[in-house]
């Protein structure tokens, strides 16, 4: 039995450690980077206890999402292996729960320890950064989530509603620890865990463990079945997301059109629903809730709406890239999906079919998020713009601001989603980690250079190091994009005119930016700003890179 449990732990940790390392590194490096940039820009760093405590909830939300996502992904990858072990279901479920709890506890302690070393003083636990209470609650949340996860393997509306009620009650209880005098009073740190709170969390954890083991046993034995009402709803949803029609009407199509339609049903439509529909609703709800956060003037409301729209668009672009990018490979990324690999099309036609779906996915997702923004604008901004003597001026300024910001957001959405998809469509895990490692390595090098600059502020050599960093990085990006276009043209994946049009559009945009924004490189500081603008132009080149990198990635994946 012990050897089987050790094998279970190894299977879980093998899937969890890469994401755990990246998660902890991100949570530590990003605040360190922000601290350095704020110091360089001359902004005051919030070392006041109350100001640091105000960041506590932000850290909890981000870290919990990252760590729980890592553990859930590891669980999903190892549960099939664990079900076949020759031991009792209760032992397997208990061991998986302990592995998840142990992982999140270690990650939280490691991150908080790094924060103590880099940011906080010796009073951090008592005055502004509680650890014990949130950590015990997270353990309880993991066990409860485990129970809900296995219980909802046999879904029904009753179980879903009850599970949602439990989650809401848990978070309400957790937030109430920070508001002992009521939610209308100021928040205070949950620095001391009382005996009653400790006993309550342990009882809930024990009940979650018991329910989780029972639900896991039912799933493992095959007796966990969904309710009839849920089955009917699931069939309707599947027909919606796959685009399947019950009419039985068929038409003759070319191979490329048939491939594009099948690929759209397989992964792209789901990406649009998740990245466009859900985030469009999120933009609509959050803008409605926070419409007066920046003031009641129509221009101020518009600026607040646009900031939320940009933030959710960037997150949605990552989601669209991940969902659509994982749609070309089977489980384990050992090979391309069979219906794609055996399609009787040349690599160029194959890439065109999937690239068209990529463009449609990005456009539809962006339009759905834009629809949520437009509904907010029509309801909350338009009535205010039509009032007053300067209504025409306000309308013109608001429309211009909306247009420029929307084009900028769409460009960011396309650049992020298309480049993420081009990496994932290679189908090679080592290449994913190589790209992520390169990004983190450049980020770490930048932090090191800036940190060195911070220590010796009066030496011009440090400014030269920063300029060299941005210029070398820009050169590498330019070289990579040019190499991709040259290779794609040589292999016949794209036409020479496609490369020429892409280069011409980039050149026109770059010359426009140089004419409008570029500073004259007269001094050291202006030279540093000039090199930073060159780096931004290299990022602009990434908007055109998918025209070459996606055909190369698909060919590489298809012929391995």
Q: What is the pLDDT of residues 437-477, one digit of tens each?
A: 888 888 777 777 766 654 444 456 667 777 888 888 889 99
Give the pLDDT confidence score for residue 492 in this predicted structure.
87
Give per-residue pLDDT as tens, 293-309.
666 677 777 778 888 88
* Residue 113 pLDDT greater than 50, yes or no: yes
Q: Can you list the alpha helix ranges (DSSP code H) found in 119-254? A: 124-127, 132-151, 157-178, 195-221, 228-242
DSSP code at position 253: -
36 versus 360: the higher-pLDDT residue is 360
Q: What are phi and psi of 520, to 5 degrees?
A: -80, 125
* Biggest CA pair distance of the chain: 81
DSSP helix/strand/coil, 329: strand
How far is CA 525 from each of CA 372, 464, 501, 529, rounded to the nearest angstrom? Answer: 41, 10, 35, 6
DSSP bridge partners of 268: none
Tokens 């949950």 sit on residue? 190
With a cut of 60, say whether residue 252 has pLDDT above it.
Answer: no
DSSP state of 311: H
What single-letter DSSP state applies at residue 265?
A: I
Instruction: Give the side-chain half-sphere CA count within 13 A for 432.
Output: 16
Neighbours of 333 (CB within 10 A): 17
- Residue 336: phi and psi, rounded to 5, are -70, 150
pLDDT score, position 246: 41
- Percent share of the chain, pLDDT over 90: 12
In this predicted structure, the answer to whether residue 180 has a pLDDT above a threshold of 60 is yes
Token pair recorded at residue 161: 């509603």
Q: Pick the more confident residue, 516 or 429.
A: 429
Rounded distance between C-alpha atoms, residue 325 and residue 32, angstroms:
31
- Per-residue model confidence as pLDDT tens digits over 154-171: 888 889 899 989 998 998
| CA separation for the pair 294, 303 (Å, rounded) | 8
**Residue 327 gets which letter from DSSP?**
G
Instruction: Out of 172-181, 393-402, 548-557, pick the least confident.
Output: 393-402
Q: Choose the most confident range, by mean pLDDT, from 127-136, 178-187, 361-370.
A: 361-370
* pLDDT at 176 exceeding the cut of 80: yes
Contacts of 227 by beta carbon, 8 Å cutoff, 6+ apart:
154, 155, 156, 157, 158
Q: At what angle do helices 460-490 and 496-516 cross, to 10 degrees?
A: 160
> Phi and psi dihedrals of 329, rounded to 5?
-115, 155
pLDDT at 250: 40
- For the question of whether the overall pTM of this predicted structure is more than 0.85, the answer is no
Flag the least confident range among 20-24, 151-155, 291-295, 335-339.
291-295
Nearest to 188 by CA among 180, 199, 200, 196: 180
Q: What is the reported pLDDT for 204?
A: 94
DSSP 333: G
Does residue 169 contact residue 109 with C-beta atoms inside 8 Å?
no
Supply 283's token pair.
Answer: 């933009």
pLDDT value at residue 544:
92
Q: How far apart are CA 199 and CA 522, in angstroms?
A: 67
pLDDT at site 1: 53
Structure tokens at 418: 């298309």
Our CA angle for 133, 138, 142, nearest 5°, is 155
In the predicted model, what is the mean pLDDT of residues 9-25? 76
User: What pLDDT is attached to residue 247?
Assistant: 41
The DSSP letter of residue 276 is I
Average pLDDT of the chain to the nearest whole number: 79
* Residue carrying structure tokens 């015990």: 136
**pLDDT level of residue 206 (50, 70, 90 thresholds):** very high
Please state the rounded mean pLDDT for residues 539-552.
91
State the Cα–Cα distance between residues 149 and 214, nearest whole angstrom: 12
Instruction: Label residue 88 by pLDDT band (50, 70, 90).
Output: confident
Phi, psi of 297 (to 5 degrees): -70, 145
Q: Is the pLDDT of residue 328 over 90?
A: no
Is residue 336 helix, strand or coil? strand
DSSP H or E stretch at residue 42: none
Q: Is the dihedral of CA 492, 497, 502, 503 positive or negative?
A: positive
First to last CA, the chain: 40
- pLDDT at residue 53 in the model: 65
Confidence at residue 9, expressed as pLDDT on a 0 to 100 scale: 72
Q: What's the average model confidence in pLDDT over 223-235? A: 83
For residue 455, the model assigns a pLDDT of 47
């Amino acid at each position: 039995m012990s050897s089987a449990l050790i094998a279970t732990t190894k299977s879980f940790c093998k899937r969890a450690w890469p994401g755990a390392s990246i998660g902890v590194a991100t949570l530590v490096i990003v605040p360190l980077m922000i601290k350095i940039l704020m110091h360089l820009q001359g902004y005051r760093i919030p070392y006041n206890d109350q100001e640091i405590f105000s960041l506590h909830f932000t850290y909890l939300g981000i870290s919990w999402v990252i760590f729980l996502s890592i553990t859930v992904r590891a669980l999903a990858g190892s549960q099939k292996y664990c079900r076949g072990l020759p031991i009792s279901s209760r032992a397997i479920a208990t061991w998986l729960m302990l592995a998840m709890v142990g992982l999140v506890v270690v990650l939280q302690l490691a991150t908080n320890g790094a924060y103590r070393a880099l940011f906080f003083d010796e009073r951090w636990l008592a005055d502004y950064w509680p650890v014990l209470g949130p950590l015990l609650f997270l353990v309880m949340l993991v066990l409860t989530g485990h129970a809900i996860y296995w219980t909802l393997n046999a879904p029904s509306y009753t179980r879903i509603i009850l599970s949602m009620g439990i989650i809401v009650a848990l978070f309400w209880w957790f937030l109430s620890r920070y508001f002992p005098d009521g939610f209308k009073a100021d928040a205070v740190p949950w620095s001391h865990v009382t005996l009653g709170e400790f006993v309550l969390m342990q009882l809930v954890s024990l009940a979650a463990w018991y329910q989780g083991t029972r639900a896991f046993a039912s799933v493992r034995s095959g007796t966990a079945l969904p309710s009839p009402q849920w089955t009917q709803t699931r069939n309707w949803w599947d027909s919606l997301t796959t685009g399947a029609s019950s009419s039985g009407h068929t038409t003759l199509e070319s191979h490329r059109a048939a491939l594009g339609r099948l690929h759209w049903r397989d992964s792209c439509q789901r990406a649009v629903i998740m990245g466009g529909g859900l985030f469009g609703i999120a933009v609509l709800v959050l803008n409605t809730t926070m419409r007066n956060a920046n003031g009641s003037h129509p221009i101020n409301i518009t600026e607040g709406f646009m900031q939320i729209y940009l933030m959710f668009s960037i997150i949605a672009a990552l989601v669209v890239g991940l969902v659509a990018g994982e749609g070309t490979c089977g489980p384990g990324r050992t090979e391309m999906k069979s219906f794609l690999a055996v399609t009787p099309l040349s690599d160029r036609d194959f890439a065109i079919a999937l690239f068209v779906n990529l463009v449609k996915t990005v456009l539809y997702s962006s339009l759905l998020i834009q629809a949520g923004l437009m509904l907010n604008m029509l309801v909350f901004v338009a009535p205010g713009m039509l009032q007053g003597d300067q209504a025409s001026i306000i309308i013109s300024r608001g429309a211009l601001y909306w247009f420029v910001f929307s084009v900028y957001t769409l460009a960011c959405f396309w650049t992020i989603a298309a480049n993420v998809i081009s990496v994932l469509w290679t189908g090679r895990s080592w290449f994913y980690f190589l790209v992520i490692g390169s990004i983190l390595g450049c980020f770490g090098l930048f932090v090191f250079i800036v940190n060195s600059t911070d220590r010796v502020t009066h030496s011009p050599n440090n400014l030269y190091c920063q300029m060299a960093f941005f210029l070398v990085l820009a050169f590498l990006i330019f070289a990579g994009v040019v190499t991709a276009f040259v290779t794609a043209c040589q292999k016949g994946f794209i036409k020479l005119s496609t490369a020429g049009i892409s280069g011409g559009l980039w050149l026109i945009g770059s010359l426009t930016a140089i004419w409008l924004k570029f500073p004259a490189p007269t001094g050291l500081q202006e030279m540093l700003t000039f090199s930073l603008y060159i780096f931004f132009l290299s990022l602009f080149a990434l908007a055109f890179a998918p025209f070459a990198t996606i055909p190369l990635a698909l060919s590489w994946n298809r012929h391995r």
